[in-house]
Amino acid sequence: MLHFQLWISLIGAFLVWGVHFAGLYLAAEFAPQTIRVVAPILLVLGLATNGWIFKRANTANPFVATIGGGSAVISSIAILWQTLPVYV
Amino acid sequence: MKDDLPLTAEMANRFPARHAGSKADLAELEKIWCAPKGWQFFTAVSNNYIGFYYIATAFLFFLLAGILALLMRVQLAAPAQTFLSPDTYNQVFTMHGTVMMFLFAVPAVEAVGVMLLPQMIGARDLPFPRLSAYAYWIYLFGGLSFFASIFAGLAPDGGWFMYPPLTGRIYSPGINADFWLLGIGFIEISAIAGAIEFIVGIMRTRAPGMSLGKMPILAWALLVMSVMIIIGFPSVILATLLLELDRAFNWPIFDATRGGDPLLWQHLFWFFGHPEVYIIFLPGAAMLTMLISTVARSDVIGYPLVVLSILATGFISFGVWAHHMFTTGIPDVTVGVFSAVSTAVTLPAGTMVFCWIATLAAGKPKFNAPGLFAIGSVLVFVTGGLTGVMVAFVPFDWQAHDSYFIVAHLHYVLLGGMLFPLFGAFYYWAPAFSKNALSDRTGKWVFWLMFAGTHVTFMPMHIAGLMGMPRRVYTYLPAQQVETLNFISTCGAFLIAAGVAVFIVDMIRNFRFAPGGGNAGNVYGGGTLEWLPSGLYSTRSIPLVTSRQPLWEDLNLARNVEEGRYFLPRSATGLRETLMTSPVFATPQQLLILPGPSVWPITAAVFTSGFFLLLTIQAAVLATISGVLAIIAIIIWLWETDRPVALKAADIGGGIMVPTHVSGVMNHGVWATITLLFVFGMIFAMAIFSLFFLWTNQPKFWMDPPAFTASFWVFVLGVASLTLSLSAKSLLLRMQNANLTAGALSLAAILAIGAQYADYTGWQAVGLQPEASGQGGIVYAIMAHQASLLLVCLVMAAYAMARAFAGLITKPASVLIDICSLILTYTAAQGLAAAVLTRALATGG
């Protein structure tokens, strides 16, 4: 189980960021008119997934908890931050 | 021991063993691991030798590129000088950037990894020593040939990022650009080979007990760097291939007038180019972290946060590439998103800086040479990082773009993030490989000269840039009022050179390579495993690791390891061996038998280099012959190393028995193959991105694809090939017939070739030609990529057949069959995906 939690948290949160970024980039570059609809959907999905990862990473192993929780937090800040330019 | 669980307390308590290892066992280890003598030195594959060659060669390229920098600074010391002609200046700045980035920075960090990593993680060697040797020799031959082009006036002259249309056949008609495009091929192969080695080595050959949370920071950074290489380098591989096709065969992939787009190059290049900076920086930051920890005599404060920052930086670096393209007219929202992501890099970078400061504050730092380099690195890097935040903001970037401000910024980042840590690392780790430590007193001189030189050179460049001096100009006029600033920069460059010269004197006076032991030892009091007493076999026995600084925690560890009281105190098989352990907790799983010295890696490297160089001068027939000879050399090398072992299980110490051979997902060759397939997958993904990019940007040049119904044979043959290659393993398991299995794999390869041929004829039938449009260029480039994979499959299938007929395929499970099956399955799947996507992205454009 720890195995699963470790890999999910190590890679999962950053993949959330990557997928969010890729979605946002593709919409911005190739279909800018859809961006204001796509961005909030991606944001909600990303934050929800990161929340789940944060919860799963809360194990007794402090290394996994820090890496997992930290990844989810950094990923969430990053996707919030990269969504900002859509609205400003 | 197949499960990835921590070593049980009962097993851990067996170490250190009550009985010491015998002298006869030690003598056998020394005999097994002894290095080739005399002229046979080039057959050496051990990480001690290859790592040393690597570092020496990287340093040579650093010196050469540094001399080019001095030539540029002499030219710019005063206005309107004619020391270098404009053409020569173009070649010099292009070679300076290219050599520093491709032939020095990336190989240097990989070299440090090759040299240090096995000892640091408690392995006897890296898992693929011959691959390391091949990667090194190809780097040496390729690098020297590439650099020699400048003496013939044939060096590339389009800048280190080689933007088309400047580098296309119209504006760069000579072979200068081809030297860059094909020359970089060497480094790509070398870097990817190194990355595969590190990923498998770090994940599978750590000393028992060294769980991920106890890994040295440098191992973490090398792991992330390697993953970044296999994600980022494929993009530049594809880009160079496409531009070479553009130049050699007049394909219009980057020609906007024929349905291509030069901006596509920028996207592909910077998707690699910006992560490249972090590929260099992360190992530098990790060296810095280890240096700081030792000089402060304190474990790293916030170790998990530093690891997290390394991971976060690696990921986020792949979302910032377009900040190099803010002035190209990309959509506003895209610009905004990339600006935001670029500033987000400050999060992990800042976290790392605060962890370094906290570690220094928690300990009692010594201001010795490594200490000074560590602190100097932080100061220089933070200065570069701050200007990085400035240029991440679009309005400022529009003003500073392509000016000397950018030159100053990138040099601060690279010197602070990589060069200073590397010089600190030289002083810190030299005693592990030399009979004498380098002089600490001289090291301080080196530091102060380089530190002062850095600021004197690059600080004025910020001002020159803001005053409007563009980068890459061979001269300027007196009226521009940048004379004094440029003169100061030139003086600074010579200060840095003086620092490097003093370092060379120190090396000549003190460094005496001592790979077989007898080194100066742990001069600075490091706490990690590379400071254990060692010989060519690495450590006498492989320790059980219980903390991040095992030498600080257990003061008897070195003695017990040296007395052979831990794992593998003797060779169980009479061959070179190391322990394979589980990925998370590093629990012993297998005794890995390693290959010894061989002439084949260097032979393969000679012919691989010949292939690329002969292509550069358009000698296609000779290039083909050289390529075939390279393949033959690689096959012989594989044939030698792919050997059945009589002993099924071995005692690795403490009565713990592990197998000597495993197949399936636990095998290190399978891990390496999966990593390599990921590289192919990324090349394919970037090719599909290119198709998508041109599809959306150049719709009027788009033509309809062959109908899905007319592509019947593409899909039938493709699915048949996929099914057959997937079933190879179960065929061997159930039928236990090696000949049948190898035959099935060969048939799968032939079916995949049939599918590819059907795809090709389909596109020919609708009239799509590669030189007609960007779509044609990309579609045929995807087919060429698929064809090269099919060639690999064909060679692999023939190899499997030969092994089967020679009775050398083990039953019921064989690693060779696993690997062949994986490669064929991937190739068949990619062929199907390519057929679907090229058709899907050709409709409705």
pLDDT of residue B845: 47
**The pair of three-digit structure tokens given for residue B127, joined into one six-digit string:** 């898992």
DSSP B635-703: HHHHHHH----S--EEE-STT-EEES---GGGSHHHHHHHHHHHHHHHHHHHHHHHHHHHHHH-GGG--
Q: Answer whether B308 sits within 8 Å of A32, measured CB to CB.
A: no
**The pair of three-digit structure tokens given for residue B62, joined into one six-digit string:** 């650093």
The tens digit of pLDDT for each residue in B314-336 reads 999 999 999 999 999 988 888 99
The tens digit of pLDDT for each residue in B369-379 reads 999 999 999 99
The residues, ordered by sequence, that sit 6+ positions from B574 with a Cβ below 8 Å of its Cβ are B28, B32
Contact residues on chain B for A61, CB-CB shorter than 8 A: 213
pTM: predicted TM-score of the whole model, two decimal places: 0.94
pLDDT of residue B119: 95
∠ CA B493-B498-B504, nearest 5°, is 130
Rounded distance between C-alpha atoms, residue B303 and residue B214, angstroms: 9
Taking residues B86-99, report their average pLDDT: 96
pLDDT of residue A2: 58
Asked if B647 contacts B572 with a C-beta cutoff of 8 angstroms, the reply is: yes
CA A62 to chain centre: 21
pLDDT of residue B2: 55
The residues, ordered by sequence, that sit 6+ positions from B624 with a Cβ below 8 Å of its Cβ are none
Q: Cis ω on the peptide bond leading into residue B395 (within 30° of 0)?
A: no
Contact residues on chain B for A77, CB-CB shorter than 8 A: 344, 347
Chain length of chain B: 845
Rounded distance between C-alpha atoms, residue A1 and residue A68, angstroms: 14
Contact residues on chain B for A76, CB-CB shorter than 8 A: none
The residues, ordered by sequence, that sit 6+ positions from B556 with a Cβ below 8 Å of its Cβ are B16
- Provide the 8-state DSSP code for B737: -
Taking residues B824-836, report their average pLDDT: 97
Burial string for B795-831 (b: 16+ CB within 10 Å, else e) reads: ebbebbbebbeeebbbeebbbbbbbbbbbbbbbbbbb
Percent of chain B's residues with pLDDT above 70: 99
pLDDT of residue B717: 96
Rounded distance between C-alpha atoms, residue B790 and residue B725, angstroms: 13
State the nearest Cα–Cα gap between A83 and chain B, in angstroms. Answer: 7
**The pair of three-digit structure tokens given for residue B667, joined into one six-digit string:** 């095998």
Cβ-based contacts under 8 A for chains A and B: 86
Q: Label residue A3 by pLDDT band (50, 70, 90).
A: low
Q: Answer whether A25 sits within 8 Å of B311, measured CB to CB.
A: no
The tens digit of pLDDT for each residue in A16-59 reads 988 999 898 888 888 888 888 899 999 999 999 999 988 888 77
Q: Answer whether B305 sits within 8 Å of A17, measured CB to CB.
A: no
Picking from A2, A25, A63, the nearest residue to B304 by CB comes out as A63
Picking from A14, A62, A82, the nearest residue to B344 by CB comes out as A82
Rounded distance between C-alpha atoms, residue B421 and residue B371, angstroms: 10
Asked if B242 contacts B781 with a C-beta cutoff of 8 angstroms, the reply is: yes
Q: Label residue B6 by pLDDT band (50, 70, 90).
A: confident
Picking from B307, B312, B336, the nearest residue to A85 by CB comes out as B336
Q: Label residue A68 by pLDDT band (50, 70, 90).
A: confident
Asked if B420 contacts B376 with a C-beta cutoff of 8 angstroms, the reply is: yes
The tens digit of pLDDT for each residue in B455-498 reads 999 999 999 999 999 999 999 999 889 999 999 999 999 999 99
pLDDT of residue B844: 56
The tens digit of pLDDT for each residue in B158-204 reads 999 999 999 999 999 988 999 898 888 888 889 999 999 999 999 99
B212 CB near a chain A CB, below 8 Å? yes
The tens digit of pLDDT for each residue in B448-463 reads 999 999 999 999 999 9
Contact residues on chain B for A86, CB-CB shorter than 8 A: 333, 336-337
Nearest CA among B492, B498, B506, B497 for reference residue B369: B506
pLDDT of residue A9: 75
Q: Which residue matches tokens 């340093």?
A: B59
Helix extents (H) in B473-515 = 483-510
State the nearest Cα–Cα gap between B268 and chain A, in angstroms. Answer: 15
Rounded distance between C-alpha atoms, residue B547 and residue B530, angstroms: 14
The tens digit of pLDDT for each residue in B740-781 reads 999 999 999 999 999 999 999 999 999 999 999 999 999 999
ipTM for the assembly:
0.76
Helix extents (H) in B169-316 = 176-204, 217-249, 262-295, 303-316
Q: Which residue matches tokens 């910032």?
A: B320
Give the HSE-up count for residue B108: Cα atoms under 13 Å, Cβ half-sphere. Answer: 29
- Whether pLDDT at B598 is above 60: yes
Q: Which residues of A touch B (CB under 8 A)?
A: 2-3, 6, 10, 14, 17-18, 21, 24-25, 28-30, 32, 35, 61-63, 66-67, 70-71, 74, 77-78, 81-82, 84-86, 88
Q: Label residue B554 by pLDDT band (50, 70, 90).
A: very high
Picking from B333, B340, B343, the nearest residue to A35 by CB comes out as B333
pLDDT of residue A32: 84
Task: Identify the residue among A74, A76, A77, A80 best suited for mutation to test binding to B, counting B beta carbons within 10 A and taking the highest.
Answer: A74
Task: Name the residue in chain B with its Cα closest to that of A11.
Answer: B311
Q: Answer whether B336 sits within 8 Å of A86, measured CB to CB.
A: yes
Rounded distance between C-alpha atoms, residue B476 and residue B500, angstroms: 29
Burial string for B248-280 (b: 16+ CB within 10 Å, else e) reads: eeebbbbbbebbbbbbbbbbbbbbbbbbbbbbb
Structural Rg of chain B based on CA atoms: 27
Taking residues B222-245, report their average pLDDT: 96
Mean pLDDT of chain B: 93
Give the HSE-up count for residue B670: Cα atoms under 13 Å, Cβ half-sphere. Answer: 15
- Whether pLDDT at A1 is above 60: no
pLDDT of residue B1: 46
- Provide the 8-state DSSP code for B545: P
Q: Label residue B3 by pLDDT band (50, 70, 90).
A: low
How far is the first Cα of chain A from the last one, in angstroms, to the nearest whole number? 43
pLDDT of residue B412: 97
Taking residues B517-536, report their average pLDDT: 91
Rounded distance between C-alpha atoms, residue B816 and residue B411, angstroms: 47
∠ CA B564-B567-B571, nearest 5°, is 80
Nearest CA among B675, B432, B391, B426 for reference residue B530: B432
Task: Name the residue in chain A with its Cα closest to that of B4.
Answer: A3
Asked if B169 contacts B121 with a C-beta cutoff of 8 angstroms, the reply is: no
Helix extents (H) in B418-571 = 420-433, 440-466, 483-510, 550-553, 557-562
State the nearest Cα–Cα gap between A20 and chain B, in angstroms. Answer: 10
